[in-house]
Amino acid sequence: MIGHDSKKTYKAAIIGAGSGGLTMAVGLSNFGHDIVLIEGDKVGGDCTNVGCVPSKALLHAALVGEDNPLGWVRAKRDDLAQREDHEMEKHEKIHLVRGWAKLTPKSGDHHVVLVDGPNGQVEVHAENVIISGGSKPIVMPVEGLGAERVLTNENIFELESVPGTVVLVGGGAISIEMATAFGDLGSTVHIVELAGRLMGNEDPLVSSTMQEVFESRGMQVHLGTSIERFDEATQTAHLTNGATIADVDKVLIGIGRRPALGDLRLEAAGVETTKGGVVADTWGRTSVDGVYAVGDITGNTATTHGANSFARRTVRAIALPLPKVGDPRVIPNAVYSRPQIASVGLTVAEVDAMAAGGRKRYVKQLTDIDRGFTDDLEHGFIAVDVERFTGKILRAVIVGPSAAEMIGMFTIMIDHGIGLRKLFGTVHPYPSYSQAVGFLADEFATETFRSLPQEWFALTKAKIANRFKK
Amino acid sequence: MIGHDSKKTYKAAIIGAGSGGLTMAVGLSNFGHDIVLIEGDKVGGDCTNVGCVPSKALLHAALVGEDNPLGWVRAKRDDLAQREDHEMEKHEKIHLVRGWAKLTPKSGDHHVVLVDGPNGQVEVHAENVIISGGSKPIVMPVEGLGAERVLTNENIFELESVPGTVVLVGGGAISIEMATAFGDLGSTVHIVELAGRLMGNEDPLVSSTMQEVFESRGMQVHLGTSIERFDEATQTAHLTNGATIADVDKVLIGIGRRPALGDLRLEAAGVETTKGGVVADTWGRTSVDGVYAVGDITGNTATTHGANSFARRTVRAIALPLPKVGDPRVIPNAVYSRPQIASVGLTVAEVDAMAAGGRKRYVKQLTDIDRGFTDDLEHGFIAVDVERFTGKILRAVIVGPSAAEMIGMFTIMIDHGIGLRKLFGTVHPYPSYSQAVGFLADEFATETFRSLPQEWFALTKAKIANRFKK
């Protein structure tokens, strides 16, 4: 329902109605609690309004050739946003307060949050406070670049027409998805990435594959460089490496995000933060008793499904008097480019830090299996890093059609300790891309069973080496 | 290599170079054995030449709008077939003998197979014989229907042009895939199915969904009827229900397949058969010692990946002196229509036969989740039958994009005894279709945890009921 009773003490005051906040609100209300949900912007947060939802809708519209793709995307997005808003407005146990929140130091037996709304400031009293304010795009200034030419995820879906030439600054997920969409829409696409490869957090094989994909579509990938200055008179971007990009209509800045700590007054309330955001454990607990944080505003996750997963733990932490045991589930990543990219498990850096002798890497090109052949697939692979001898999955990454769906097999395997060895003999439909997983399991089994004692010895040696590293 | 030594006794004579036979040949040769591979038709069998490969290539060509789709399919198919043929011809341990095989009664210490080839009859001596002759389409006569108008999987890919109007007789996998392809190619498509629904072996929800899909594309689905007669003068099919289909160019018969027992002379050799094919256990063992059978010619499986999986067991049975323990892995099914259909686990009939109180069914429409929303999906669902209380997966079926890839999650869960209960909290990427699995797990957990004692009691009661049924 709209509004709250400023004299009542609620079970929780939730700051931010994005993925994490909505999960908290619905979750706590399902346990019978009355809560206050505070949102200064739109219900649904970035994901629904300026993130996952409009970006995936744009990718779809561009692929199938909708007549007015950007208008179609906005209509879809607004439809979902209105439904989510309405759901919160009519919910009996969720009290929606519109405005911007500030924390205050705890003085009595509960917390007080101040909300600056359209009708002035109101107080919200609550046993618990959940900080779920999300993140904002980082925008760096470019000399000479006019503000009206700059896009971020916050205004890109408001475009009225498809840009002729678009420069995507940054080679991460946002650029990779938007390069796919704008390529399909007919734009001339340039990607400018400061590092030496695209998707710097991913496996280097992802980087080289996606570069090949984009170059095969006539896009230009500028690596190891950035925009030095922009000449508005000629609409030309001058790169630090001397190259120029002419006739630029729009420049999308997608170089990263920072936690939206804004005016929350976290220090005054004693909530510990770092550059990465609010410090919170995997149950969402911050440095202040009764104050929790979930989602992008913490350093724990940067995805909608990650925020949802952590928020579910925080719901449990607040609503159920159970011991706080159990690790979080593994959280996969997905980029909805064509081909899709999905990964799960340890980070690339974590795998690289492990003694090389204790792990093995298996790669299968999807172009080499029969499904890739019948589909005329040009790019795609599954790569798996496993512990030697046991086959325990350290990390899996897939580039290919349905990668975001196929990664589920590895997510389940990691959550339940099923290694590649146990997947020997598992049957996948012919001809499916999933058969690649079968080939990887065969390769692991063949290599390992042929020399079990040596494999065991190599793993043991690496485990000892790993221990000395720490 | 081509040819064999008719005086030598090989480890195995493999009759039929399709999916099962090729797996046997490569598998046994990997164990160091010399074998003879006998094939009267093309290496690769039905799958490569007139089955999975050209059908999936046609579906792809139709979807992307290849200029000469049927020519493209033949080129792809011939490319793969030639590679497989060449691989067998040059393999050092595989002796390829072209011709049609006949078994003989065992008289000495090994088996003798007679092969009628282009240069007359030759003898193959082998310790073991593997019957992997595959299956053939069942064709029923239709009064008045000219032979040149009749298609089966064996000649459909030889079509020179796309038929204007095509009648697909039978509502199974072949018709469902070819309706998708010919619909995309612009044909007017009619499906005629004797039963009251399409995909009679699948979940009824699959039947109704696919009927909606096809009808939404302007196809006509004629249920509970068959072709009574055909009038060649007017190119009209008269159905038993009185309806007529005019201007028919081609009639595809896809009503089922029968094991290709042909002239193998199995009775003479003492190999037991039924109407379903050669009687073989899950290790491929027939009624005659040293004679094995794998693939479509047995009643054990009717898919390429199923033949492959059973053949792997038979390779182990012949090559490794291990006790014959361990059940076969679960074998999924997939139909590559749009949307795809995939299922795994018990059959629908097996689930229906279990006491209703001991099981529960959870269904999630893919159109109701955010990925379906951003993709404008019109049809799709995941349905899971589980054991009550434990959440053990009895059967899962998916209709939707990437169903053939998503089914892998359930295949792994069944193989490793991971029930829906254990999937509570598993994280899937947002927005993916796999999130539907998460919603099903949530629903199971919510229902079950709220009334654990009642759920346990209901399961126990049903288990007792199941015992009395047997």
What are the tens digits of pLDDT across the range B387-430? 999 999 999 999 999 999 999 999 999 999 999 999 999 999 99
Q: What is the pLDDT of residues B138-167, one digit of tens each?
A: 999 999 999 999 999 999 999 999 999 999
How many residues in total does chain B contain?
470
Q: Is A74 part of the contact surface with chain B (CB cutoff 8 Å)?
A: no
Residues 124-183 of A with CB under 8 A from B: none
Say yes or no for a CB contact (<8 Å) between A334 and B406. Answer: no
| pLDDT at position B470 | 60
Separation of CA B289 from chain center: 28
Mean pLDDT to the nearest integer, B343-363 = 96
Say yes or no for a CB contact (<8 Å) between B370 and A53. Answer: yes
Q: What are phi and psi of B12, to 5 degrees?
A: -155, 145
Is residue A389 a contact partner of residue A379, using CB atoms and an 8 Å limit?
no
Which residues in B79-98 are b (16+ Cβ under 10 Å) and which e? Answer: ebbeebbeebeebebbbbbb
Q: Which member of A309, A409, A422 has the closest CB to residue B409?
A: A409
Beta carbon pairs, A and B, within 8 Å: 164
Mutate to test the interface with A, among B405, B421, B437 (most CBs of A within 10 A): B405
pLDDT cut 90: percent of chain B above it = 92
**Following DSSP, what letter does each residue of B3-34 receive, concatenated?**
---TTSEEEEEEE--SHHHHHHHHHHHHTT--
- By C-alpha distance, the chain A residue nearest B55 is A374
In sign, the C-alpha dihedral spanning B283, B289, B295, B297 is negative
Two structure tokens written together for B349? 């009939």
pTM of the model: 0.96
Mutate to test the interface with B, among A64, A333, A405 (most CBs of B within 10 A): A405
Is residue B330 a contact partner of residue A426, using CB atoms and an 8 Å limit?
no
Q: What is the mean pLDDT of each run of 10 residues along chain A (470 residues)?
A: 96 98 97 97 96 97 96 96 96 97 93 96 98 96 96 97 98 98 98 98 98 98 98 98 98 96 94 96 97 96 96 96 90 98 98 95 97 97 97 98 98 97 96 98 93 89 83
CA dihedral A334, A335, A338, A341 (to 10 degrees): -50
Say yes or no for a CB contact (<8 Å) between B405 and A405. Answer: yes
Q: Is A426 part of the contact surface with chain B (CB cutoff 8 Å)?
A: yes
Least Cα separation, residue A59 to chain B (angstroms): 9
- Distance of CA B119 to CAs B11, B97, B105, B114, B124, Å? 24, 11, 24, 13, 14
Is residue A462 a contact partner of residue A359, using CB atoms and an 8 Å limit?
yes
Say yes or no for a CB contact (<8 Å) between A428 and B411. Answer: yes
Q: Is A409 part of the contact surface with chain B (CB cutoff 8 Å)?
A: yes
Q: Which residues in A lie closer than 8 A to residue B57 (C-beta atoms)?
A: 374
Mean pLDDT to the nearest integer, B362-368 = 98
Is residue B395 a contact partner of residue B385, using CB atoms and an 8 Å limit?
yes
Q: How many whole angstroms separate alpha carbon A378 and alpha carbon B289? A: 48
Output the CA angle B52-A412-A201, nearest 5 degrees. 95
Q: Which residues in B lie closer than 8 A to residue A332 (C-beta atoms)?
A: 427-429
The CATH homologous superfamily for domain A139-255 is FAD/NAD(P)-binding domain (3.50.50.60)
CATH architecture under which domain A339-469 falls: 2-Layer Sandwich (3.30)
Question: Cβ contacts of residue B57 below 8 Å, gap of 6+?
Answer: A374, B72, B73, B76, B77
The CATH homologous superfamily for domain B9-136+258-319 is FAD/NAD(P)-binding domain (3.50.50.60)
Residues 96-115 of B with CB under 8 A from A: none
Least Cα separation, residue B145 to chain A (angstroms): 33
Q: Is A60 part of the contact surface with chain B (CB cutoff 8 Å)?
A: yes
Q: In this model, does residue B321 exceed pLDDT 90?
A: no
Q: What is the pLDDT of residues B73-110, one digit of tens each?
A: 999 999 999 999 999 999 999 999 999 999 999 888 99
- By C-alpha distance, the chain B residue nearest A409 is B409
Q: Is the ipTM of this complex over 0.85?
A: yes
Query: How do strand B9-15 and strand B35-39 relate by DSSP bridges?
Result: parallel
Least Cα separation, residue A194 to chain B (angstroms): 28
Question: Cβ contacts of residue B454 below 8 Å, gap of 6+?
Answer: none
Q: Which residues in B lie closer than 8 A to residue A413 (C-beta atoms)?
A: 412
Q: How many whole angstroms separate alpha carbon B200 and alpha carbon B224? A: 12
Q: What is the DSSP letter of A328?
A: P
Give yes or no for a cis peptide into A141 (omega within 30° of 0): no
| pLDDT at position B450 | 86
| pLDDT at position A189 | 98
Residues 306-365 of B with CB under 8 A from A: 306, 308-309, 312, 329-334, 342
Q: What are phi and psi of A59, to 5 degrees?
A: -60, -40
Q: What is the pLDDT of residues B176-235, one digit of tens each?
A: 999 999 999 999 999 999 999 999 999 999 999 999 999 999 999 999 999 999 999 999
Domain pair B9-136+258-319 / B339-469, same fold:
no
- Domain layout of chain A by residue ranges: 9-136+258-319, 139-255, 339-469
Two structure tokens written together for B159? 């079509």
| pLDDT at position A262 | 85
Q: What is the pLDDT of residues B240-262, one digit of tens each?
A: 999 999 999 999 999 999 999 98
Please list the helix, strand and coil fractions of chain A in percent, rounded to the nearest 5, in that order.
35, 25, 40
| pLDDT at position B107 | 85
**Following DSSP, what letter does each residue of B418-436 receive, concatenated?**
--GGGGTT----TT-TTHH
